Chain A
Amino acid sequence: MSLFDFIRKPRQPKSAQTAKDRLQILLAHERSREGSPEADYLPMLQADIVAAIRKYVAIGDKDVEVRMERGDQMSSLEINIELPKTPATKAG
């Protein structure tokens, strides 16, 4: 350890800033999941979408993904449907 070590000390981010950043990311996630009772309908919505699509295309239970994202200004509902490689319908 030399006397001039302090000059070469790499500038690390302050740990308090890291704590704040981690908390902000985590709590944004936790708050969106809990405390929003309306998000309870997502599994039912997912099942309904699967049932509706299954009338026309053979898809599995897990092929429909429903995600809700809540923001201050805007919330969005993201529905991702994965179709099988060879659609089991005549139209194609």
Chain B
Amino acid sequence: MTTEAKNNPPLGRVIVITSGKGGVGKTTSSAAISAGLAKKGFRTVVIDFDVGLRNLDMIMGCERRVVFDFINVIQGDAKLKQALIKDKRLDTLSILPTSQTRDKDALTKEGVEQILNELKTEFDYIICDSPAGIERGAQLAMYFADEAVVVTNPEVSSVRDSDRVLGLLGSQTKRAETDGAEPIKAQVLITRYDPSRVEIGEMMTVEDVLEILAVPLLGVIPESKAILRASNVGTPVVLDAPSAASEAYEDAVIRLTGTELEMRIVGERKPGLFQRLFGRTA
């Protein structure tokens, strides 16, 4: 797969990971999805659009290797190649960190477009990690996207903000503004899902969320201790020890590449006595 993909012309798909609300798992999902795609052999780059609040570098574990950033490239102070950080675990994965500048206007539409166009000539997937909110950074992260992953927690404020963001994807983006262009393919990724709370009626079900948002489902990531552990050590969750969350992200990645895969909700079960005695069977 890896060698085959490398000889093909790059796919150049731009995917925005967005949500409106903060803290729902955009950066965690961006890291997991980009690492998952790279693991499958796709040439992947993940861009941090959260100017002023750089965090993707820490989640990816490359915070000490940042020399130049996204804004340096936009302003012509560095070449794109100088700013891209090659992942040490996967040679198909690169990271473009954002700047810690407080100048919100540092990000320009023309600059973003130019960088994306350059990346499209080399990468299969360009993952844009959007900041929270619906301000400039979030607008530019989604503007040039071909696809969107809307990260949603099964919780009222997150679902409401996701609905708002879905509205913006359908109206404030290049595809929406271009006559005859196919609209952005938006899918919802439900994160922090707790099947045991859903079962007793304390949390909205996947069906509830989908009925409200009315977009296809990319995947369901269960609430899992593996997420914090992975972020503690700077490893995307799919590159860390197998867990319910990593399996769920791997499934989502398969669906993102266009392969149909039956939806399964992996719960984080505590191993029972039987399992502990005889080892995991599944």
Asked if A15 contacts B202 (CB within 8 A), the reply is yes
Pick the contact of B198: A16, A23, A27 (CB < 8 A): A16
Within 8 A of A (CB), among B195-253: 198, 200-205, 208, 211-212
- List chain B residues, Cβ under 8 A from A30: 160, 163-164
Pick the contact of B167: A16, A19, A35 (CB < 8 A): A35
- List chain A residues, Cβ under 8 A from B211: 20
Asked if A16 contacts B202 (CB within 8 A), the reply is yes
- List chain A residues, Cβ under 8 A from B198: 16
Asked if A19 contacts B155 (CB within 8 A), the reply is yes
Interchain Cβ contacts within 8 Å, total number = 41
Asked if B201 contacts A17 (CB within 8 A), the reply is yes
Pick the contact of A19: B163, B164, B170, B204 (CB < 8 A): B204
Asked if A27 contacts B160 (CB within 8 A), the reply is yes
For the complex of A and B, 9 pairs with smallest distance between CB atoms: A14-B201, A20-B208, A16-B204, A35-B167, A16-B201, A19-B156, A27-B163, A23-B212, A16-B203
7 contacting pairs across A/B (C-beta < 8 A) = A16-B154, A16-B201, A20-B212, A23-B212, A30-B164, A31-B163, A34-B167
- A residues sitting closer than 8 Å to B (CB atoms) are 14-17, 19-20, 22-24, 26-27, 30-31, 34-35
